[in-house]
Structure 1
Amino acid sequence: MHNECGIGRSEENLVILQGWSIAKHHALIRAQDEGMFIESTGGRAQVRVNGNAIKEKLGPISSTDIVEIGDYRLRIFSDSGSRVAAPGSIQVPHDGPATDPAPAPAVGAAVATPPASDSTEIATTADAPPDIVVWRERVHASLVKQMDLRRVDVRSLTDAALREKTIELIEAVMDKEYADLPKIINRRMLAKQVLDEAIGLGPLEDLIDDNTVTEIMVNAHDQIYIERSGRIEKSAVHFTNDRAVLSAIERIVAPLGRRIDESSPMVDARLKDGSRVNAIIPPIALRGPSISIRKFAKKKLVGRDLLGYGSINEGMLAFLETAVSERKNIVVTGGTGSGKTTLLNILSNFIPARDRIVTIEDAAELKLVQPNLVALEARPPNLEGKGQVTIRDLVKNALRMRPDRIVVGECRGGETLDMLQAMNTGHEGSLTTAHANSPRDAISRIEVMVLMAGMELPMAVVREQIASAVDMIVHQRRFPCGSRKVTHITEVTGIESGTIQLQDIFHYKVRTHHGADGKVEGTFEATGAIPEFMEELADRGVKIDLSIFRKPAEEY
């Protein structure tokens, strides 16, 4: 007799259920003085009593109540005491719900039965949804065994040859060992999943190919979240185990000459298509290896796409195109995931083809189309702790490469001082990004990052450098609804009484955060201020439409 009865996948439970939606410890039945109570302790499948999902705890439960967990139905019987009897009278199969209810169960037993069909007939094991993850793990293990037996040297094979050889082995394994797969399992899908996990990125392959997915976040092998249209949702796919996640990470970083292990448990990398990857593994990651992939659109984005997404208006786009082409130094700011790098990419494409450009990044993401381009990427230290090349080293070296413009993917530290120096010494029209919550906050962030260079400069000197170097700040924000808007285009006008002066040229005025479609609603407006450098451009013969700077009220 027991006071508690655990339900879940783990063998520690008295009632063991199977399935990808069942957690190791999914529910718990407790015997109390008032009667039997059931608690939900985790898992994808909801715990329902008589069709109603329970949040935490419910009771007392009677023998007439139907408890549903995934594809299982349970009934709970209790005696007059306060103990739960072990379910010795029923056996739950490993790969599906129980096929037929047991005869008179022991007092206090939790009895698991399959759901009834519309005709009230009891479903058979073959009718129950099989756990394809279990089969994937079995076939994968057999594949590895076959590779070992045949002594396949994967390092000597090209990617195409390895893929062809692996497909051949998977087909042989499935024909020989798994010819009697349940009919409900899609054989082709199972073979593809095994192939992806063996030589690819496992379940991430389909997510990477899905153009609607913009970000992939692997919290644990069985918990993957994705971002679609700016909103985060949980994905139905997951890895077989932690080892499969580690293998995927290694396949990403190995071709780039980077490493990840216990001594270096974090790494920044990129996929072949330029998507940015960050991975972190135990002992730093407590729940298992974690991967974050920020995808970039396969279609090259241009300025008109910003209009299509509602991120900017015509006047703002025309102004930014003029500012970039006329060599104004711009810092793109915003929070994490606000789209800074994407916006930087679009702005960079406004640079004239005649200019020589040097791009500097931690992990290469920018995709510029200009012919006279040199792309540089930072490098972490090797196993001996040597050979590191930092962003700051690259910025210093770029000054010797005769660039017309320098584009730094992101300023995070001391390289900000070198970037400001470059902007002040004949490299006008340079671009970079920085994390900040507003244009004014961006100035404070730049000040702090300059001090990180360790030069011990007086704050007055730092501010003079910033005011002299930076012409404009373009701030982008990601709203809770998932939409991204350029909320400020701000000019740096100089320094007065020790304070850097800013003036907004354009801003986004929010009307409501809850529009008809659940998205933020507002208008892009000019403030009426005309940038100080417009007069200089007019003197040089640059044609400017000053009407774009007119405040909305002045249009009437």
Structure 2
Amino acid sequence: MTAQPPPDGTAPSPWEGHIDAQLLDVVRRRVLSQAGPVTELQLAAAVRESGRLLGAAGSLLAMERISAELNGLGPLQGLVKDPAVTDIFVNAPDSVWQDRGAGPQKVAVRFGNETELRALAVRLVASGGRRLDESSPCVDVKLAAGYRIHAVLPPISTKGTLLSIRIKRRTVFSLEQMVDAGGVEPLFAQLLAALMKRRLNFLISGATGAGKTTLLSALLGLCPATERLVLIEDAAELEPDHPHAVTLEARHENAEGAGAVDLAELVRQALRMNPGRLIVGECRGAEVRELLMAMNTGHSGGGGTIHANSARDVPARLAALGALAAMTPEAVFLQGASALDVVIHLSRANGKRIVAELAVVQLEKGRLEVVPALTLHPELGPVRGAAWTGLAARLKLADKFDGAAPLSGGAGHHGYLP
């Protein structure tokens, strides 16, 4: 597992220092021969007893490496030190990638072989209370350290063990901070603040890693402290800056195949908790039926996230999820048109996660349509669409623009809200 010189185009390994494999093996065997959990004192004693003269810095590096292997992410642990890293992908022992917000980048981290990679995947999944083996070759689990682990074993994975790690950062961004970082145009920020104030129901769409959860947390932070937020998630990731937010987390079945509590059941339970706002962290299955029904029974201001390539693809995505709940497309469209008001779409551009479009949900000739109200143009900035006038009226904004003139971002358009 020693670091190798990075190939062209790869980021350097975070494990610099060249602690040789023989020392690591000696210390590892000494530590594992003792009963009980591995402690820092045990590691320090094992390094000293190895007889190697490493110096203070070398001893600390050896302890860190072995602690990561036994209790952490193994050779991947060093990547977590970078606060910008949100995802780690392992495609093969010699193919490790990280995502710092601008897409996957290969790094100079290596596993010795497939056996070591598989052993790490099995240990990480086991630490989350699940098992990864031939009978359960695909597992998704959340660890107490804040990692979300997804692992796939052969032969489901044709070329070896696959490991994906989502790193939960504790920092919660406000909408204002997202504007300052360039992720949200000021005009979009005003519209988002207004739709939360007016309690419109919304869905945040986008691809994996587009920043849907981050934006949702920021929007929930705008809710008044008098409102009770009930958050429903498959894996708890939302941490809004709000004094009255409670989270219900789905539970997977145990090794005997029992004890599962899915998102649909959690939505039903949440409706009995008198929620001020009902939020589903991610609609990915039959729970979409309960969410749409809840929004149609007086629970305004609710929302969630959904995977979609664009805002206009959301109706097709909802129809597909509704089919899992035995709903016809017509039923999904009718429920969706009544339940949903706005779709907020996120995308990546120039290495940034940005709010790219705000669209209005409406029913047209029996089909659910998502009509653009404001779209971020790469050169012109925010440009209004066909649904702008209706959305502005619902949000009680002053539409001061005549004709078909596009809106462009900038200080001249900051004074919209009454």
Q: TM-score, normalised by structure 1?
A: 0.65
Does the CA-based 8 Å contact 1:508-1:524 persist in structure 2? yes
State the AA in 1 paired with 2:354: K
1:464 corresponds to 2:341: no
1:260 corresponds to 2:115: no
Specify whether residues 168 and 546 from structure 1 end up closer, same or farther in structure 2 by C-alpha distance, changes over 3 A only.
farther
Q: Secondary structure at the match of 2:299?
A: coil
State the AA in 1 paired with 2:48: E
Aligned pairs for 1:3-152 within 5 A: 21=4, 132=18, 135-136=20-21, 138-147=22-31, 149=33, 152=34
2:407 corresponds in structure 1 to: 552
State the AA in 1 paired with 2:374: F
Q: Secondary structure at the match of 1:203?
A: helix
Match of 1:507 among 360, 375, 380: 375
Does the CA-based 8 Å contact 1:507-1:526 persist in structure 2? yes
Aligned pairs for 1:149-228 within 5 A: 149=33, 152-154=34-36, 157=37, 162-173=39-50, 175=51, 178-179=52-53, 186=58, 188-228=60-100
2:354 corresponds in structure 1 to: 485
What does the per-residue CA deviation read over 1:265-307, in whole Å, with 9 as the maximum and x for residues that have no partner? 2222234454433222334334433221223444321112322
Q: Secondary structure at the match of 1:267?
A: strand
2:232 corresponds in structure 1 to: 360
State the AA in 2 paired with 1:467: A
Offset of residue 472 of structure 1? 0.2
Does the CA-based 8 Å contact 2:315-2:369 persist in structure 1? no
2:303 corresponds in structure 1 to: 431
Offset of residue 440 of structure 1? 1.6
State the AA in 1 paired with 2:41: E
Does the CA-based 8 Å contact 1:525-1:552 persist in structure 2? yes
Offset of residue 530 of structure 1? 4.0
Match of 1:315 among 187, 197, 213: 187
Higher helix proportion? 2
Aligned pairs for 1:387-536 within 5 A: 387-455=259-327, 457=328, 459-479=329-349, 481-492=350-361, 494-511=362-379, 523-527=381-385, 529-530=387-388, 532=390, 535=393
Offset of residue 144 of structure 1? 3.7
Specify whether residues 547 and 171 from structure 1 end up closer, same or farther in structure 2 by C-alpha distance, changes over 3 A only.
farther
Work out which structure has the larger RCO, using CA pairs closer than 8 Å and 6 or more positions apart in sequence. Answer: 2
Offset of residue 260 of structure 1? 2.2
1:519 corresponds in structure 2 to: none
Specify whether residues 308 and 296 from structure 1 end up closer, same or farther in structure 2 by C-alpha distance, changes over 3 A only.
farther
1:9 corresponds in structure 2 to: none
Number of residues paired by the alignment?
A: 400
Offset of residue 453 of structure 1? 0.5
Does the CA-based 8 Å contact 2:130-2:255 persist in structure 1? no
- Structure exhibiting the larger radius of gyration computed from Cα positions: 1
- 5+ unaligned residues in a row in structure 1: which ranges? 1-18, 23-43, 47-129, 512-521, 539-543
Offset of residue 398 of structure 1? 1.6
State the AA in 2 paired with 1:491: V
Does the CA-based 8 Å contact 2:153-2:160 persist in structure 1? yes
Specify whether residues 485 and 535 from structure 1 end up closer, same or farther in structure 2 by C-alpha distance, changes over 3 A only.
closer
Does the CA-based 8 Å contact 2:7-2:108 persist in structure 1? no
State the AA in 1 paired with 2:27: L
Q: Secondary structure at the match of 2:257?
A: coil
Offset of residue 187 of structure 1? 5.3
What does the per-residue CA deviation read over 1:335-373, in whole Å, with 9 as the maximum and x for residues that have no partner? 222222222222222222211121111111111232222
Does the CA-based 8 Å contact 1:276-1:365 persist in structure 2? no
Offset of residue 225 of structure 1? 0.8
Q: Secondary structure at the match of 1:532?
A: helix
Determine the C-alpha separation between the residues in 2 that align with 1:227 and 1:140: 28
Specify whether residues 498 and 483 from structure 1 end up closer, same or farther in structure 2 by C-alpha distance, changes over 3 A only.
same
Match of 2:213 among 335, 341, 363: 341
State the AA in 2 paired with 1:524: P
1:92 corresponds in structure 2 to: none
Determine the C-alpha separation between the residues in 1 that align with 2:296 and 2:211: 27
- 5+ unaligned residues in a row in structure 2: which ranges? 9-15, 414-418
Does the CA-based 8 Å contact 2:101-2:353 persist in structure 1? no
State the AA in 1 paired with 2:216: L
Determine the C-alpha separation between the residues in 2 that align with 1:238 and 1:396: 46
Determine the C-alpha separation between the residues in 1 that align with 2:185 and 2:395: 22
Determine the C-alpha separation between the residues in 2 that align with 1:289 and 1:164: 33
Q: Secondary structure at the match of 1:217?
A: strand
Determine the C-alpha separation between the residues in 1 that align with 2:103 and 2:311: 25
Q: Secondary structure at the match of 2:272?
A: coil
Specify whether residues 506 and 275 from structure 1 end up closer, same or farther in structure 2 by C-alpha distance, changes over 3 A only.
farther
State the AA in 2 paired with 1:153: A
